[in-house]
Chains A and B, each alone.
Chain A
Amino acid sequence: MVEAVISVADLHKSYKKVRAVAGVSLEVRGGEAYGLLGPNGSGKSTTLHALVGIIRPTGGTATISGFDSRSLEAKRLLGFVPDDLGMPETLSGWEFLDLVRSLYGVRDRSRAEILTRVLGLEGALGRLIEEYSHGMKKKLRVVAALIHEPRALVLDEPFAGLDPEAVINLKRLISSEKKKGTAVFVATHDLLAAQHYCDRIGILSDGALAAEGTPDQLFERFGSDSLEEVFLKASELLERSREVETYLQHL
């Protein structure tokens, strides 16, 4: 059995009276892709932010290869692609990547050059980030996260805002990292991508893990062969989905 690279145990996060994450526990092994699904506000991004050390959890633990996720050892092994967090807009693309290389102690620029070519970003690197589109910023974040060959790759909505070619290439890139033994933890709304690229899937509802397993295990448990239906059942949204169907008939 391959050892868990990412490990989250009984993670809690509350903002004053709002409970964002309530006791999430999961593991992602090396060479495995884990997809975290959930409706808006279910706690996906909060779980990821607590895991990578952007926010402090109210309770529970998160480790990367056995190191506390807030330790420098864990951060050296971690690559993180945020969804919509800010960027140093007045740096150029190259400057941002050079900064990241410096911070991770990567002297060679060649990996960064290859990654930017894979995602079709090489022509824009001389420009300031503030001139980038949403998709270009996302690509730059992906390159920055992979520059130091992380053992754990955490991605928040990686496909949102990307053009179809970039989505295809990013999926290939993630598969390639997986094959090298990287643990991939991805929060997404893209059910199709999750079904095809993730070995295991977790469905968050109201800050807690409502269901977890391989796609086949989930299909069997919820008696369906569609991840859409599994998602609706697990997040207790099936009733609401039927209501929406009724509304649509009246439109």
Chain B
Amino acid sequence: MRHTFSISSVVVRSWRNQLAGLVGGSPVVLALCGIFAIVLLALWCLTVREFLLPLFGGFSADANLFVSVNSLLLTNISLVASLFLGVFLMLSPPRTALDNLLVVTPTTQGQRTVGYLLPLVGIAMTAITVLYAPVVFSLVHGSAALSTTEALWIAYLYAGHGLYAVLLDLILYLLVFALVQRVFAAGHTLSQLVSVLATVTTALATTVMSLRAIDPSEGNFSSHYLNVYVVFMEDLSSGPHERGLAFYLMVLAVPVMAATLLWLLLCLVSRLTLSAERPHKRAWLRRLPFGRFGLVAFFSQELKQSVRHTENQLFAGFFLLLSAIALATAIFGGAEIGAHVVGLPLIVWVLSALFSHNSYGRTRSHHWLASVSPRRRLTWLTAKVLANLTYSGGLAAALFFVLSFAGGGTSLSAYVATLPYGVLLILALTLLGTVLPYSEEYPFSSAFSALFGVFAGVPLSYVLQKATSSIPRDLMGLVLAAAIGILVLAICSADSWRATHDSGV
């Protein structure tokens, strides 16, 4: 156990260091964070006092309400667990990276696995305990229908459910991590980021589904994996006369057994997902030639690198998967995406154009190659922009094609009609990526740029669309060509500035 705790302490120290790094060592910021945490907790206690206490007080009158509220609370525990896990997983060193470091030490695989997972389970359970202590307090003191013993049994079920949710989240995280590493040959940090996002997104999606399943007025609720223990709570609220020792033994045993089984499954998944090495990456567009001209050579290089970039592959794959789901829903469920999503062509263009943002930063480490080669900087830059237009434009075409079958209003003619706006978006994001380059070492930079792209790109496009709607149709082509010309000139200036800036003059 000593080795296990030593490994756990490495994980905990990495959290402490990362948090210290975020705070920046300033006592003022630290104090502000503390005050913020206390205020949040106070708000939570106030919410419990104002809403839960009166709610629990009325349980004797309405058993259905009791079941619905508890179903809601259990679902909420799952969400809290995934959010805390997400944050602390991002603060932890990636498991594969840590394991690679520790594999030379006299520790077993089991010790390393448990040592890594234990602090994560601990921190999520601590968060649940802190956040749910006021709820338990409300149950003990506020509920007229429940005795203190019954309230404590419910608290036990909350804890059991918390552990259940945490372990499920960790299993999902490890599976996605392994999938991303093996299928896309992604690095440790990127795999970490994607798998945390997938875990939290799944928790959010299931929470939404759970909330939709609760119907207190009818007294029914769908039982699903996020509120399984509510079955026991229904019995606990129905009065002591119907329950015997067997019931209490079952309430005691089921969470323990479920947690034990899930822990074993987690260790198994952890072992299986760690064993294999990263695969050889597939070299897409291997046959694309470099040609005899500098422009073609740089274009070919840029396009190959765009297509093979792990992050680009992950996000392009994700967008295509979403489109395929929309298509399947339209075919089998009869629900057309166009009826639910307004301005789908614009959204598709914004998402596709986002890939242009990383084009400058992605190749920044080897810009020296263009500098020492006997080709003009302008040739290199033109090839880069053309490759961006090809990659993003091609992805947009694929998405338009798939979504056209899902009733998204994204036909071929819509693609052609919106193409100039798409070109503008791609150029604008290339410009942004030149001024504020993406960094390979910090995958968060692309998450930041994606957010920035969505928040800035969509309203900007809307404003542009509104502004251009007042321009006569005959002049529209001219205006778009002028806008494209201005953006091209801006990219050239930005590149020149960036080259000078990076050169340290």
Q: Indicate, yes or no, whether A interacts with B.
A: yes
* Contacts from A to B (Cβ < 8 Å): 13, 15-16, 49, 52-56, 58, 72-73, 75-76, 78, 80, 82, 85-88, 90-92, 95, 98-105, 107, 127-128, 130-131
Nearest-Cβ distance from residue A19 to partner chain B, whole angstroms: 12
A56-B500 in contact (CB<8A): yes
A78-B500 in contact (CB<8A): no
- Contact A75-B503, Cβ < 8 Å, known A87-B366, A103-B297, A128-B281: no
Q: Which residues of B contact A80 (CB under 8 A)?
A: 372
B371-A90 in contact (CB<8A): no
| Distance in angstroms between the alpha carbons of A53 and B372 in the assembled complex | 6
B304-A103 in contact (CB<8A): no
Among the listed stretches B90-98, B134-142, B284-292, which one makes contact with chain A, having 4 or more residues with CB under 8 Å of it?
B284-292
Q: Which residues of A contact B291 (CB under 8 A)?
A: 102
Give the residue name and chain of the A residue nearest to B504 (CB).
A15
In this assembly, does B275 line the interface, its C-beta being within 8 Å of a C-beta of chain A? no
| Distance in angstroms between the alpha carbons of A76 and B308 in the assembled complex | 30
Q: Which of B222-243 contact A (CB under 8 A)?
A: none
Q: Which residues of B contact A85 (CB under 8 A)?
A: 365-366, 368
A88-B366 in contact (CB<8A): yes
Give the residue name and chain of the B residue nearest to A90 (CB).
B308
| Distance in angstroms between the alpha carbons of A85 and B369 in the assembled complex | 9
In this assembly, does B461 line the interface, its C-beta being within 8 Å of a C-beta of chain A? no
- Per CB-CB distance, the 5 closest pairs between chain A and chain B, nearest first, are A86-B365, A102-B297, A90-B308, A102-B290, A75-B374
Helix, strand, loop or mixed for chain A's interface?
mixed
| Distance in angstroms between the alpha carbons of A82 and B365 in the assembled complex | 12
| A55-B503, A88-B366, A104-B373 given; 17 more Cβ-contact pairs under 8 Å | A16-B504, A49-B368, A54-B372, A58-B505, A72-B376, A86-B366, A87-B365, A90-B309, A91-B305, A92-B286, A95-B290, A95-B304, A99-B301, A100-B373, A101-B290, A102-B291, A127-B280
Nearest-Cβ distance from residue B16 to partner chain A, whole angstroms: 32
When the two chains form the complex, which single residue of B292, B298, B301 contacts A105, counting CB atoms closer than 8 Å? B292
In this assembly, does B363 line the interface, its C-beta being within 8 Å of a C-beta of chain A? yes
Nearest-Cβ distance from residue B374 to partner chain A, whole angstroms: 4
| Distance in angstroms between the alpha carbons of A82 and B367 in the assembled complex | 12
| Distance in angstroms between the alpha carbons of A73 and B376 in the assembled complex | 11
Nearest-Cβ distance from residue A124 to partner chain B, whole angstroms: 12
Nearest-Cβ distance from residue A152 to partner chain B, whole angstroms: 11
Residue among A92, A95, A98 facing the most chain B CB atoms (10 A cut-off)? A95
Q: Which residues of B contact A127 (CB under 8 A)?
A: 280
Nearest-Cβ distance from residue B403 to partner chain A, whole angstroms: 29
In this assembly, does B375 line the interface, its C-beta being within 8 Å of a C-beta of chain A? yes
Give the residue name and chain of the A residue nearest to B305 (CB).
A90
A103-B373 in contact (CB<8A): yes
| Distance in angstroms between the alpha carbons of A107 and B297 in the assembled complex | 13
Give the residue name and chain of the B residue nearest to A129 (CB).
B366
Q: Which residues of B contact A95 (CB under 8 A)?
A: 283, 286, 290, 304
B371-A53 in contact (CB<8A): yes
In this assembly, does B294 line the interface, its C-beta being within 8 Å of a C-beta of chain A? yes
| Distance in angstroms between the alpha carbons of A85 and B364 in the assembled complex | 10
In this assembly, does B296 line the interface, its C-beta being within 8 Å of a C-beta of chain A? yes
Nearest-Cβ distance from residue A199 to partner chain B, whole angstroms: 24
B373-A75 in contact (CB<8A): yes
19 CB < 8 A contacts A-B: A49-B368, A52-B372, A54-B368, A55-B503, A58-B505, A72-B375, A75-B372, A86-B366, A87-B365, A88-B305, A88-B363, A88-B369, A90-B309, A98-B290, A99-B297, A102-B292, A103-B294, A130-B281, A131-B280
Nearest-Cβ distance from residue A63 to partner chain B, whole angstroms: 15
| Distance in angstroms between the alpha carbons of A127 and B301 in the assembled complex | 16
Q: Which residues of B contact A87 (CB under 8 A)?
A: 365-366
Q: Which residues of B contact A102 (CB under 8 A)?
A: 290-294, 296-297
When the two chains form the complex, which single residue of A49, A76, A90 contacts B304, counting CB atoms closer than 8 Å? A90
Nearest-Cβ distance from residue B384 to partner chain A, whole angstroms: 13
Q: Which residues of A contact B308 (CB under 8 A)?
A: 90, 128
Q: Which residues of A contact B301 (CB under 8 A)?
A: 88, 91, 99
Nearest-Cβ distance from residue A100 to partner chain B, whole angstroms: 8
Q: Which of B292-332 contact A (CB under 8 A)?
A: 292-294, 296-298, 300-301, 304-305, 308-309
Give the residue name and chain of the A residue nearest to B500 (CB).
A56
Nearest-Cβ distance from residue A56 to partner chain B, whole angstroms: 5
- Binary interface encoding of chain B residues 358-391 relative to chain A, with 1 for a CB under 8 A from any of its CBs, else 0: 0000011110110111111000000000000000
Give the residue name and chain of the A residue nearest to B281 (CB).
A128
A103-B375 in contact (CB<8A): yes
Give the residue name and chain of the A residue nearest to B373 (CB).
A103
Q: Which residues of B contact A72 (CB under 8 A)?
A: 374-376
| Distance in angstroms between the alpha carbons of A148 and B297 in the assembled complex | 16
| Distance in angstroms between the alpha carbons of A235 and B290 in the assembled complex | 46
| Distance in angstroms between the alpha carbons of A87 and B301 in the assembled complex | 12
Q: Which residues of B contact A13 (CB under 8 A)?
A: 504
B286-A90 in contact (CB<8A): no
| Distance in angstroms between the alpha carbons of A90 and B298 in the assembled complex | 14
Nearest-Cβ distance from residue A189 to partner chain B, whole angstroms: 21
| Distance in angstroms between the alpha carbons of A78 and B373 in the assembled complex | 9
| Distance in angstroms between the alpha carbons of A76 and B375 in the assembled complex | 9
Give the residue name and chain of the B residue nearest to A16 (CB).
B504
Nearest-Cβ distance from residue B400 to partner chain A, whole angstroms: 27
| Distance in angstroms between the alpha carbons of A104 and B372 in the assembled complex | 11
Q: Which residues of A contact B369 (CB under 8 A)?
A: 88, 100
Q: Which residues of B contact A54 (CB under 8 A)?
A: 368, 371-372, 503
B504-A55 in contact (CB<8A): yes
Q: Which residues of A contact B375 (CB under 8 A)?
A: 72, 103
When the two chains form the complex, which single residue of B281, B293, B294 contacts A90, counting CB atoms closer than 8 Å? B281
Q: Which residues of B contact A16 (CB under 8 A)?
A: 504
